[in-house]
Amino acid sequence: MHKTAAITWIVLLVLTLASALFSKLESKYVILVILILAALKFLGIVFQFMEMKKAHVFWKVLIIGFLVLFVIALLIMV
Amino acid sequence: MGLEVIPNKLQNNRLNSFGIMHTQEIDHKNIYYPPGGILIWIIIFLELITFGATLVVMVYYGNQESELFHDSSLKLNATYGMVNTMLLLTSGFFMAISVTELKRGNKETFKKLLLFAMLFGCFFLCLKGFEYYEKINEGISIGYNTFFSFYWMLTLFHVIHVIVGLVILTSVYFGMKKENSNTVIEDVEASAAFWHMCDLIWIILFPIIYLLF
């Protein structure tokens, strides 16, 4: 369990660094990449640290549904 | 009566009305028992919806006043934001492994790891305080412009959540320190879920406030 948590933690740190570096680039896809990286970090915390992977499918669908709606709403507003 | 902890099996130890401790397993696959309990998850969803909706509104205003938002975001130090994200993630990591240790019955290791989780939470608050100090010294307060109104409102609400989280974790730490502790694993899981919620909120705040515009 600690190994999985440690791997998740390192991946989350790398994704944070990557999103900061990507934000410096001049490209029309930067916003999309930043949002995807944030969404991946969100899922990492929810499923590994909060142990949502053990929960009933209802809660998994609910949290993924929130994330998808949030990202879509942001992409529409940008 | 001793507290028997079976590895990888959650137990809910409570005293009944006759003062006799009884143990029941918590099945997280049950729709009513997500990790931490249904009530904390209702709070988490309400918080995420509130912060999420405000961020969407912020991006909408950012689209309307793109130049102002771009210039204002350049006044923020993205490195502070990135380091703060890493501090919260590290705190979340210690929190997650501390809960695992408690489930294995290692109460002492749990307490040590919980202290580390709280310490990194305090580091986050220190850096945030330093950032606020810099902004106030530059004359950038809540009414400076639309961007900074959102910045102060969202980050201050988040800071309040982190402070509340630290108070909860401190109470869990001292609760577990007692000889006859009545803190149950479900309470610890709910506290951990609240702490991770602070990570989740920051994870969606950081890219939008510091990087998007």
Do residue A19 and residue B90 have CB atoms under 8 angstroms apart?
Answer: no
Global pTM reads: 0.86
Please name the residues between 38 and 77 in chain B that touch chain A, using a CB distance below 8 Å: 41, 45, 48-49, 52, 55-56, 59-60, 62-63
Per-residue tens of pLDDT for chain B, all 213 residues = 334 444 444 444 444 444 443 444 567 777 777 888 899 999 999 999 999 999 999 999 999 998 999 999 999 999 999 999 999 999 999 999 999 999 888 889 999 999 999 999 999 999 999 999 999 999 998 888 999 999 999 999 999 999 999 999 999 999 988 877 777 888 899 999 999 999 999 999 999 999 988
Cα–Cα distance measured from residue B121 to residue B105, given in angstroms and rounded to the nearest whole number: 25
Range scoring the smallest mean pLDDT among A63-67, A72-76, B111-115, B180-184: B180-184
Structural tokens at position A1: 């369990």
What pLDDT sits at residue B125? Answer: 96
Cβ-in-10-Å burial (0-12, 13-18, 19+) of A34 comes to buried
A36-54 per-position pLDDT tens digit: 999 999 999 999 999 899 8
Q: What share of chain B is helix, strand, coil (3-state, %, to 5)?
A: 70, 5, 25
pLDDT for position B168 = 95
The ipTM estimated for the assembled molecules is 0.92
Do the Cβ atoms of B29 and A54 come within 8 Å? yes
Say if the Cβ atoms of A51 and B200 lie within 8 Å.
no
pLDDT of B26 reads: 67
Tell me what pLDDT residue B29 has: 72
pLDDT at residue A63, as a whole number: 94
Q: Tell me if B59 and A78 make a contact (CB, 8 A cut-off).
A: yes
